[in-house]
Every structure is written in C-alpha cells, then in structure tokens.
Structure 1
Amino acid sequence: MVKVLVAGFTGAMGQAAVNLINSEADFELVGLYAPSAEGKSAADYDLPAALPVYGRLAEVPANQAVWLDFTTPAVVYENIQYALKHGYTPLVGTSGLKDDEITNLQQLAHQHQRGGLIVPNFGLSAVLLMKFAREAAQYLPDVEIIEMHHEDKKDAPSGTALATAKLIDEVRPRHEQSPSVENLPGVRGGDYHGIRVHAVRLPGYLAHEEVLFGGPGEALSIRQDSFDRASFMQGIKVALEKIGQVDELLLGLEQVL
C-alpha cells in the first residue's frame, strides 16, 4: 500500500491526483495540504471528513508517505525541503525549480537517505518527445523549442521545455546558431545555452510542445499534445508504484519506466 499526501490538492492537477489515488486499491490518501484550505475540513471538498487537511506547512506532521506536490513555483522548493526533513518521499509535479535548487534538494535527500522523483511532465508522450529530441540533437544541432499552455500557467518556460533544452544541450555538438537583430526585444525567445525557447499562453490550450530542428535542405519537427489532464494520470500512477524503488532524488519520469 502506497500512502500519499497531496500538496496543492485544490488545483486542477491536485484534484485529478486525489481522484486517481482514491480510485486505486493500492494507494491510500493520508492527507491534503493547501494554504487556501486553512480552517476547512475534507468535508468541504466532498471528501471523507476524517481525512486530515492542512492549511499551513508547519502543521503537516512527519510521515513515511509520498509527498505528491502540485503547488506553485513560488513555494515548491520550500515544500520539498520540508517534506524531506519530515520523512516524506517527494514526487514533484510542480515546475519552476532552478538548477541550484534541484542540486540542493538532491543533497538534502542524500543527507536524509530519501529517494524521490522530480517530474517535469507526467505525460508519456512528453517523456518520449524529450527522448527523441535528445537523440535528434546529436545530428541536427540547430534547434528551437516552442511550448504552448493554458493562460493560467504560472511559470514560463514550462518545466518540460526547460528539461528538453537541458537534454539537448547535453548531447548536441558545440554550436552557435545564426544571430538575429531583434527589432522587437525578446522576439527570439529565451536563450538556454544557445537554444531558443518560446512560451505561448492562450485560452483553449492545455499542454503542448514542439521541437524544431533544421539542417541544410531539411527540417524535423517533433511534437506532443496533451488535450486533457487524464493524459498525466498514467504517469502519476507509474511513478507512485515505482517510487519506492528509488534511493536518491532523481529527475524525470523516465528514471522509473
């Protein structure tokens, strides 16, 4: 039985995760955390009244459970520090962690002998896109990334786009793409080690990414689309099933596939 506390349970992904956990016989929901829930009970959310609900981080008790985080980029680093210090195994679905913060969390996990996963995207199609993009970058080093999300997404670029850029940067030959004069500042997008990353925020979109490669006389596009949050549930289920086998804090769902 995998025991799970869901942090950020009032958001769309948090609610979907709660429904998933409650639908699986091998998972047990042991607590809920969200600052907006302070002073409320589980019954306010049509959940069993005995289920603990915490509105302040300091109120969350120590527990040998999985801390499934779908909060916000502004608080995720503090949350995971707290989780590791209080016995939880973190499963992080919130984007926004910086490289140095990930390193610090990995060191803290090692100190407390905890495993865990930081997952930029739970969608299996997104994991495959990153895998294929990394492979292609070895042969086509000229590349740009476009990510498209709903208008309420808090951070830009997305964790998936940034993770894709990092994977490409690991393998592509040392390379400088043709410079451009920006008549409109920022029009060429963000720059990650020479890889341009563009973020779109519009109503009607959920989560989409396209990686564009160009070479002499040819082009390659790799794209994935998530049209419904149900697309992330299989990845969450797999991560919860396999996270007990992880003995350090790792980055990416592919670590347990």
Structure 2
Amino acid sequence: MIRVGIVGAAGKMGRALCIAALDDPDIELVAAIGRSKTGMRVAELVGRPDTDVRLSDRLETLLDANVDVALEFTSPDSVMGNARWFLDHGVHSAIGTTGIGAEDLAELRSRAEAGPANMFVGDAFSVTDAVGRHIAKIAARYIPNVELSETHPPTKADAPSGTCVRTAQELARVGASSPKAASREIIPGARGGEIDGIRVHSLRQWGGPGFEEIRFSLPGETMTIVLTPWSREPYANGALRVAKAVVNRRGFTYGFESLLGLD
C-alpha cells in the first residue's frame, strides 16, 4: 500500500483524487490538505463513508501521517512553495498543477536530483492527452501548419492552460508553426496569442473540465486532433499511476508520457 496525501483536496480536482484514492486497492489515503473546509471529514466532503481522514491546512500533516507520496493539485500561486516544502522535508511528490515556468522547473529538477525526495511534474496526467500530443508531433513532420484552441470553465486560473502551452512548445520543437496570415486584426487579440510561432486561442466557457483542439492544415485539407475529457476521473487515475511510480523513480521526472514510453 502506498500512503498518499492530497494537497488541494478541497478543490474539484482534489475531490476527484480523494475518490480515486479510496477506490484504488494499492493506495491508502492518509492525509488531505486544503485551504478551506478545515476539520471536515473527507468522507463528508466526497460523500463516501470509508475514511476518517480530516482536512488540514498544515503541510506538516503529511509528515504526521507518514505519507509516501504527496499529490499536489492547487494553484499556480502556491505550487512552487509547496514543491519546495516537499523537497525540503524529503517527501516524494507528484505535481499536477500547471503554470510552473522554465526557471522554476530547472530549480526543482536540480534540487530533486541532489536530494532524497523524488518528484514528478506533469501538465496533464491523462493517457489521451499524452497519446494525442505524441500523434500530433508525428503529424507535424508532414503537416507543419497548426493552430491550437483550448476551452476551460471561466474559473480556470491561467490562459492558455499549461497543457496547451506545452503542446505548442512540443510542436514547435519538431518544426510546426502557424501559417502567416494577411488578416489585419480589427480587434486586438482576435488572432489569439502566440507561443514559439504557434497561434493559441483560449475559450472560457462552462462545460467539461477542459478541451484541446490541435488543427493542422494544408491547401485544400485539414486534420484535427481533439482531446476531450468528460470528467476529472482520467486525470485522477493518471495521478495515482504517477504516485505508484514516483516512489521508485529516482530524482526528477517531467511529463506523463514518460510513463507510457512516449518520451
């Protein structure tokens, strides 16, 4: 049994993680950290009777519970502080919060490689995201013209999402770019933002937890890859898969695709 503590347990993703952890026979949920609902039983939070764990606002609760792995799904403004705490206290961690910049990733990599705690960082712990991006990188070798769009609820903290940013960066590395357009923007921003030469459009609408569309084009033809999660369950299951791997995966690992052999 792997003893898991969830940081950000009171959020929507955190609740999905709690449910997935309670359903996994190889995982024991032993701690739940959140900024809100302190003292509430996780059983009450997620509508399940099979745990006596209560929400705490103290990271030290992870040490008190003797966790093997901390799952971090909070917000871009708190993730680095939490990540540094894990490394300082020798706690293995799987971090799914997006918005960590290149310099911060380099710091985490250096510290994880030098210390006793292993760390796994991913922008999306989803099989379809990882496989879809892998297919897109193959397609980009032959169809280099591409634009991206992503849709999340209006409550999404960042735009574009960290997942979409990484998709653009990965496609740019294999030579993809958005075609130059003669269109003059009548309204600034109508053509979206640009990441490494690739146009990215962020929609903020109610619906599912997040969608991404990768649209390739050549004269007279298009090809679209659409990544469509209908719930947070795929990300929760992927995070638990990472939790089981990170205890034996020395140092620092970036990207869920590495667990699937796609890196």
Q: Could you tell me the TM-score, scaled by structure 1's length?
A: 0.90
* 1:128 to 2:135 alignment: no
Aligned position for 2:100: 97
Residues 38-49 of structure 1 correspond to what in structure 2 (within 5 A)? 38=38, 45=45
The separation in 1 between residues aligned to 2:172 and 2:188, in whole angstroms, is: 24
Cα 1:184/1:256, change in 2 over 3 Å? same
Amino acid at match of 2:198: I
What's the offset of the Cα at 1:128? 1.2
Cα 1:169/1:214, change in 2 over 3 Å? same
Aligned position for 2:168: 165
3-state DSSP class of the match of 1:245? coil
3-state DSSP class of the match of 1:166? helix
What's the offset of the Cα at 1:56? 3.5
* 1:76 to 2:82 alignment: no
What's the offset of the Cα at 1:39? 5.6
Amino acid at match of 1:27: I
* 1:236 to 2:239 alignment: yes
The gaps in structure 2 that reach 5 residues or longer are none
Aligned position for 1:51: 53
Aligned position for 1:5: 5
Instruction: Find 2:112's aligned residue among 104, 109, 113.
Output: 109
The separation in 2 between residues aligned to 1:202 and 1:18, in whole angstroms, is: 26
Cα 1:224/1:4, change in 2 over 3 Å? same
Aligned position for 1:193: 196
What's the offset of the Cα at 1:217? 2.9
CA contact (8 A) 1:122 1:233 kept: yes
What's the offset of the Cα at 1:99? 1.4
The separation in 2 between residues aligned to 1:203 and 1:176, in whole angstroms, is: 27
CA contact (8 A) 2:74 2:97 kept: yes
Cα 1:190/1:58, change in 2 over 3 Å? farther
Count residues with an aligned counterpart: 256
Aligned position for 1:22: 22
* 1:223 to 2:226 alignment: yes
What's the offset of the Cα at 1:57? 4.0
The separation in 1 between residues aligned to 2:87 and 2:11, in whole angstroms, is: 23
3-state DSSP class of the match of 2:36? helix
CA displacement, residues 18-64 of structure 1 (integer Å, 9 cap, x when unaligned): 11112222111121111224465657647778636421446653755
What's the offset of the Cα at 1:136? 1.3
Cα 1:183/1:7, change in 2 over 3 Å? same
Calculate percent identity across the aligned residue pairs.
Answer: 30
3-state DSSP class of the match of 1:35? coil
Which consecutive segments of 4 or more residues in structure 1 shift more than 6 A? 46-49
3-state DSSP class of the match of 1:199? strand
Amino acid at match of 2:56: Y
CA contact (8 A) 2:69 2:91 kept: yes
Aligned position for 1:211: 214
Task: Name the Cα RMSD after superposition.
Answer: 2.3
Instruction: Find 1:177's aligned residue among 179, 186, 193.
Output: 179
Cα 1:204/1:40, change in 2 over 3 Å? closer
The separation in 2 between residues aligned to 1:142 and 1:165, in whole angstroms, is: 12
The separation in 1 between residues aligned to 2:226 and 2:128, in whole angstroms, is: 9
CA contact (8 A) 1:54 1:60 kept: no
CA displacement, residues 167-223 of structure 1 (integer Å, 9 cap, x when unaligned): 1121116x6731442211111111111111111111123211110111233221111
The separation in 2 between residues aligned to 1:205 and 1:41, in whole angstroms, is: 27
What's the offset of the Cα at 1:233? 3.3
The separation in 1 between residues aligned to 2:60 and 2:119, in whole angstroms, is: 21
Aligned position for 1:86: 89
What's the offset of the Cα at 1:144? 0.7
